[in-house]
Structure 1
Amino acid sequence: MHSAPVTMMAATNPKRKCRRYSAEYLKLGFVPSFTNETSPMCLLCEKVFSNDAMKPSKMKDHLARVHPDKIGKDVDFFTALKDKLEIRTGVVSFIKPPAPPDNERGLRASYNISLIIAKSGKPHSTAEEIIVPSVKEVIDTVMNNDSSSVLKCLSLSSNAVRQCINEMAADVEKSLISELQNSRFSIQLDESTFRGENILTAYVRYFSQLQKCIIDEFLFTKYLEADAKGETIFRCLEEHLKKHNIPLSNITAVSIDGTLPMSSFHRGLTTIFKERFPDVRTIHLVLHRQHLVATELSEELHDTLEVCIKAINKIKGNPFNSILLSMLCERNDETMNHLLLHTDTRWLSRGNILQRLVELYDLTVNFLTSTDPNLCHQLQKCKNHLYYLADLFSHLNDVQMRLQGRDVTIIQARTILLGFQIKLGLFKSSLARRDFQYYPNLQELEKGDETLSDDNLTIYMTHLEKLYEDFNNRFGDLEKIEIPDWIVAPFDIPNGNAFDYDLQEEVIHMFVDLEAKSLFRNNSTGLFWTNVNIVNKYPKLSGKVLPFLLSFPSSYITDAGFIHLSTLMSRERNKVNLEKCGELRLRLTNLTPNINAILKHQANPSH
């Protein structure tokens, strides 16, 4: 009996049609409401209407009745109003609502986050413990949205991060191998010991055909199972290159340190390379840290260095002592209020350590008088030697700093080192004349009440003589390298006859090339010869220059790499296998992993 009225009600109240916004409505001055996209809003008065008003006729009627002066305005006018309104209200337009989170974009974000973690050297658990809660807080609090849908798309557990890192590292290695198979490259080898295991690291420098520039790149880390002899190191390198179909003949230069297995004449690595590949240039790494001064110190200077390090570590190794010294410095208005802590892994700062000790010498002596009288007495006895070493180490540090960085070439290193070797003779002759212009600390000492004895000067001059000989022995190969003048001054050669016959045609064209001259004026030698235009226009000339640019001039890159190695071998990660450690490769690489290719492979594993 009651069914009929219900039927009649349904018939008389049909379901209303919900109208949708069209981009054409913008030229009438309407956009969808920021809070409900089914409701139109007037840009001029910012009034929101019901869905029934989502009709061009009603919008035109509102514009004519309320804003007649705006009739005929073009769409650009209303677009500008919409942009201003979005900025002012701080909301995003709903004309094109953001796409909901999906697994593919979440996976891409997971790879990008994993790459950031690897580059920063942070533990894999960083994502799960810090990043995920942070993302949740931003979405929930700032965006006032539900974060669960976004977090479900992310894969950031420790195991997932490790897998992402390993896959990206494999992609980077694949790209590197692909280039090395068809490129000439130099290689730098260095061997060190971590926790009783001999570890060999290798880096390559090559001209990338993809990026059109010279790249320094990490090649591998290997455990040397038997020993660290030259034959073992060569065999390890040979096996790795053959495994990846990289011809050994592609190697143009080998850079090594000065250890016996590397440089020994009798079956050292350099000897083996020279026998197998006579045209390969072998270069001693410059400067290799502890050799230059420590091995040539006299007994007096060596003892001085040890006393200084003991004094510094006595203070810095004890927080209470360090605070007391800092308070004493502040009380005496000293510019510096602390000493630098010395460790072997920060050898480069040793010159800064000694200089800081010189600047705080009087306060340090006063402080040690009460805390360690015996050490204080030793420090007072070696004051003159300390001042000399601080001056010399400052000079050496300046040389070292000029050799730092990835853009330094063997041409620049040769100039810096041979120039410093000549300066050593100048330093010695100035001491003989008691001229201390190159020794600012000794000069200050002489201005005071103290006078350097002839015995002290003899010790210093003898040390400089030995240092000169050491430079000559270690870097004599640099002096023997014949670098054509036209490489560093291609437009200063008076005629083309100074070049090989097969190069003369390109020389003539380059000499009148105004664009090339402009490039040379505004770029370094290395950047000029590897410029894409120069390489394409003058392939023979740039090909002759390339071997000089590829050679590693210093141990900078291996020293930086071993710092990362030591981090990975820390107690928290003592089970890591360095040979298969993707994190190490991503930390050291200059290449960018192709995440698109990785995602595509996951979507189509058969490919």
Structure 2
Amino acid sequence: MAMDVEEALCDLLRRTEFSLQLDESTLPGNEALLLAYVRFIKDEQLTEEFLFSRELSTDAKGESIFRVVDHFFKQKAIPLKNIIAVATYGAPSIVGCYRDFVSYLKQMVPEVMCIHRQQLAVKHMSSRLNESLQYVITAVNRIRSGCLKDSCVKKRTKNRTDFFCIPKFRLLSRGARLIRFYELFESVASISGDEDVALRDILELRQADTAYLADLCEKFNAMNLQLRVDHLNLMKTKSVISPFASKLALYKRNISRGEPCQFLKLAELKRCPDSCDQDIQVYCEHLEMFHGDLMMGAMIPPNLVCQ
């Protein structure tokens, strides 16, 4: 039955123009999985269907992603020229400037329209926050690089290391991994100190940064989940993004007064923070930058358009 459904969909796509959406996920064994969805008009109704899922066996570079997509389309005899638009989630391997998936697709279909979705809360940060994130990535990758260290973490963290990978090409998973990292912060810092005392010390010094980024990613991921629905339109998008943008301004005001009550992990560390605290100033600047990026990237439609 599944084969019949797939063949019926492919037969329709051979005769219909459609938009393609690509996403990436991670299996429990840390395998990269490419997901493809299509959207088209059927019986005067906008229809969205799941097209395929394929494991990225080598890497997640743009060329590899294009080869997987191209092979599927050739196998099913679906012309690439039927793709009129591509929606992507914003990873460099998908929407970079040169060797990305979109550039390879445009060589075959020059007129295709590309829509990039920014889905990473920490896309633009201060150098301080970026350094803190890199220290987290270094600690996780060092633990994952050795079986002995990995087994030590499993003993200390009750077999929760399946969540411990923060690859640079999987931007969507970074937020969830950062949240899990902070939940296991003490264990990870302790294990890191067994090999690199300096890394452990810098992790402990930047613990507040990790808490702040984990809190923010949690909120941003919750907003993104609201946008992952069928039949999304301008009005629904505005009803989700506009309140979130307003909350960012509120978060900044509260943190600037030394009241990080909306950031639970950060508030637990800094119970009575000073408004002159350098950390607080860094977080306020980042929230302001994030608010500006969101307003510019989201292009919130005016009320006249929504009406």
Name the counterpart of 2:288.
465
Name the counterpart of 1:209.
43
Question: CA RMSD, aligned part only?
Answer: 4.1
- Post-superposition shift, 1:445? 0.6
Name the counterpart of 2:196.
372
**Structure 1 segments of 4+ aligned residues over 6 angstroms from their partners:** none
- Post-superposition shift, 1:204? 5.1
Name the counterpart of 1:196.
none
What does the per-residue CA deviation read over 1:394-414, in whole Å, with 9 as the maximum and x for residues that have no partner?
111111222224444443222
* Contact in 2 for aligned 1:445/1:451 (Cα 8 Å): no
* Contact in 1 for aligned 2:89/2:119 (Cα 8 Å): no
Matched, 1:323 2:157: no
| Aligned mate of 1:293, from 119, 122, 128 | 122
Name the counterpart of 1:392.
216
Matched, 1:307 2:135: yes
1:441 partner amino acid: K
* Contact in 1 for aligned 2:21/2:38 (Cα 8 Å): no
Higher relative contact order (CA 8 A, sep 6+): 1
- Shift in CA distance, 453/340, structure 1 to aligned 2, threshold 3 Å: farther
* Contact in 2 for aligned 1:388/1:442 (Cα 8 Å): yes
- Post-superposition shift, 1:369? 1.9
* Contact in 2 for aligned 1:428/1:461 (Cα 8 Å): yes
- Shift in CA distance, 257/313, structure 1 to aligned 2, threshold 3 Å: closer
Question: Matched residues, percent identical?
Answer: 21
Report the Cα distance in structure 2 between the residues aligned to 1:477 and 1:283, rounded to whole angstroms: 18
* Contact in 2 for aligned 1:384/1:442 (Cα 8 Å): yes
- Post-superposition shift, 1:455? 1.2
Name the counterpart of 2:240.
416
* Contact in 2 for aligned 1:206/1:215 (Cα 8 Å): yes
* Contact in 2 for aligned 1:446/1:452 (Cα 8 Å): no
What does the per-residue CA deviation read over 1:294-337, in whole Å, with 9 as the maximum and x for residues that have no partner?
2x11110000000001111211332211211222346xxxxx85
Report the Cα distance in structure 2 between the residues aligned to 1:257 and 1:285, rounded to whole angstroms: 6
Report the Cα distance in structure 2 between the residues aligned to 1:344 and 1:317, rounded to whole angstroms: 15
What does the per-residue CA deviation read over 1:65-101, in whole Å, with 9 as the maximum and x for residues that have no partner?
xxxxxxxxxxxxxxxxxxxxxxxxxxxxxxxxxxxxx
- Post-superposition shift, 1:175? 2.2
* Contact in 2 for aligned 1:342/1:353 (Cα 8 Å): yes
Matched, 1:435 2:259: yes
Report the Cα distance in structure 2 between the residues aligned to 1:452 and 1:369, rounded to whole angstroms: 32
2:185 partner amino acid: Y
Higher strand share: 2
- Shift in CA distance, 308/452, structure 1 to aligned 2, threshold 3 Å: farther
Structure 1 segment 22-41 matched on structure 2, within 5 A: none
| Aligned mate of 1:341, from 165, 168, 171 | 165
Report the Cα distance in structure 2 between the residues aligned to 1:177 and 1:433, rounded to whole angstroms: 59
TM-score w.r.t. the length of structure 1 is 0.36
- Shift in CA distance, 451/359, structure 1 to aligned 2, threshold 3 Å: farther
What does the per-residue CA deviation read over 1:337-376, in whole Å, with 9 as the maximum and x for residues that have no partner?
5452212354333222222222222222222222221211
What does the per-residue CA deviation read over 1:180-202, in whole Å, with 9 as the maximum and x for residues that have no partner?
47xxx7x3578xxxxxxxxxx99
- Shift in CA distance, 218/355, structure 1 to aligned 2, threshold 3 Å: closer
- Post-superposition shift, 1:451? 6.9
Report the Cα distance in structure 1 between the residues aligned to 2:189 and 2:275, rounded to whole angstroms: 20
Matched, 1:175 2:175: no
- Shift in CA distance, 320/408, structure 1 to aligned 2, threshold 3 Å: farther
Report the Cα distance in structure 2 between the residues aligned to 1:202 and 1:356, rounded to whole angstroms: 27
Any unmatched runs of 5+ in structure 2?
Answer: 23-34, 53-61, 64-78, 98-110
Any unmatched runs of 5+ in structure 1?
Answer: 1-111, 120-167, 191-200, 225-237, 262-275, 277-281, 331-335, 485-607
Name the counterpart of 1:455.
278
Matched, 1:476 2:281: no
Name the counterpart of 1:426.
250
1:393 partner amino acid: C
Q: How many residues align?
A: 254
Report the Cα distance in structure 2 between the residues aligned to 1:283 and 1:433, rounded to whole angstroms: 42
Report the Cα distance in structure 2 between the residues aligned to 1:305 and 1:379, rounded to whole angstroms: 10
Report the Cα distance in structure 1 between the residues aligned to 2:50 and 2:173, rounded to whole angstroms: 26
* Contact in 2 for aligned 1:436/1:443 (Cα 8 Å): yes
- Shift in CA distance, 402/477, structure 1 to aligned 2, threshold 3 Å: closer
What does the per-residue CA deviation read over 1:269-308, in whole Å, with 9 as the maximum and x for residues that have no partner?
xxxxxxx9xxxxx89543x245x422x1111000000000
- Post-superposition shift, 1:419? 1.8
* Contact in 2 for aligned 1:255/1:285 (Cα 8 Å): yes
TM-score w.r.t. the length of structure 2 is 0.67
- Post-superposition shift, 1:436? 1.5
Report the Cα distance in structure 2 between the residues aligned to 1:390 and 1:447, rounded to whole angstroms: 17
SS of equivalent residue, structure 2 residue 137? helix
Report the Cα distance in structure 1 between the residues aligned to 2:220 and 2:49, rounded to whole angstroms: 25
Structure 1 segment 187-586 matched on structure 2, within 5 A: 187=19, 205-209=39-43, 214-216=47-49, 240-241=81-82, 284-286=115-117, 288-290=118-120, 292-294=121-123, 296-329=124-157, 337-338=160-161, 340-447=164-271, 454-476=277-299, 478-479=301-302, 482-484=305-307
What does the per-residue CA deviation read over 1:411-459, in whole Å, with 9 as the maximum and x for residues that have no partner?
32222122211111011011012112210011111239x8786211111
Report the Cα distance in structure 2 between the residues aligned to 1:452 and 1:323, rounded to whole angstroms: 42
- Post-superposition shift, 1:255? 5.6
Name the counterpart of 2:105.
none
SS of equivalent residue, structure 2 residue 270? helix
Name the counterpart of 1:145.
none
* Contact in 2 for aligned 1:316/1:322 (Cα 8 Å): yes
Report the Cα distance in structure 2 between the residues aligned to 1:438 and 1:239, rounded to whole angstroms: 47
SS of equivalent residue, structure 1 residue 394? helix
Report the Cα distance in structure 2 between the residues aligned to 1:399 and 1:468, rounded to whole angstroms: 14
SS of equivalent residue, structure 1 residue 431? helix
- Shift in CA distance, 356/203, structure 1 to aligned 2, threshold 3 Å: closer
1:467 partner amino acid: F
